[in-house]
Amino acid sequence: MATGLMQTKEHADIQTNGNRAADTQRTYTPATDIYESADHLLLLTDMPGVKPEGVDITVEQNMLTIHGHVSMPKLDGYSLMHAEYGMADYRRVFALSNEIDREGIQASVKNGVLKLVLPKSKKAAPRKITVKG
């Protein structure tokens, strides 16, 4: 699915995962919601196990890359008995349109959810033009 302002780069992501096969660390594609309002895009990404300092966000040309490093407390004396999810870093790449103000991107992490606010640049914001009588 593509919005005019942002596209997910699933293909690029899979390629990157393939290249990483040599190193044992796998990455997961985190579930993400994208909302749009009049002046910004809002991105919510599930990253359970990631602390605020474990998130790397880079914007290079038009590619926004999110990387979340999982840090789990060590469990001495415990062994894994039943597993329904894997614990590995998260990675996802999005393509931004020129209408996003790259300097104004804000990120926060709360309760394992990364929240990205991507403001639309002033140029792209809808302007109301009043007709003079």
Partner 1 sequence: MLLHRLVDNDFISSLQDMHRLRQQLNRLLATEPGMAEFPPINVFSSDNGALAWAEIPGIDPKDIDISLVNDTLTVRGERRPETAGDSCHRQERLYGQFTRTIQLPFPVEADEVKARFFDGILEISLPRAHSDKPRKITVTSE
In the Cβ-directed half-sphere of 65, how many Cα atoms lie within 13 Å? 12
Please report, as residue ranges, which positions from 54 to 93 form the binding site for partner 1 (by CB under 8 A). 75, 77-86
β-partners of residue 120 are 100
Stretch that binds partner 1, among 28-36, 57-65, 95-103, 120-128 (CB under 8 A): 28-36
As measured in angstroms, the least distance from the Cβ of 52 to partner 1 is 9
- Strand 89-96 relative to strand 106-110, pairing: unpaired
End-to-end CA distance of the chain: 44
In angstroms, the Cα distances linking 54 to 7, 34, 116, 131 are: 24, 22, 15, 51
Q: Among 11, 22, 103, 127, indicate the residue that binds partner 1 (CB under 8 A).
A: 22
With binding defined as CB under 8 A, does residue 95 bind partner 1?
A: no
Nearer to partner 1 among residue 24 and residue 130 (C-beta): 24
Give CA–CA dist 11/38, Å, rounded.
29
- Residue from the set 18, 128, 129, 131 that interacts with partner 1 by CB under 8 A: 18
**Contacting residues toward partner 1, per CB under 8 A:** 1, 3, 6, 8, 17-18, 21-22, 26, 28, 31-37, 41-42, 44, 46-51, 75, 77-86, 110-113, 115
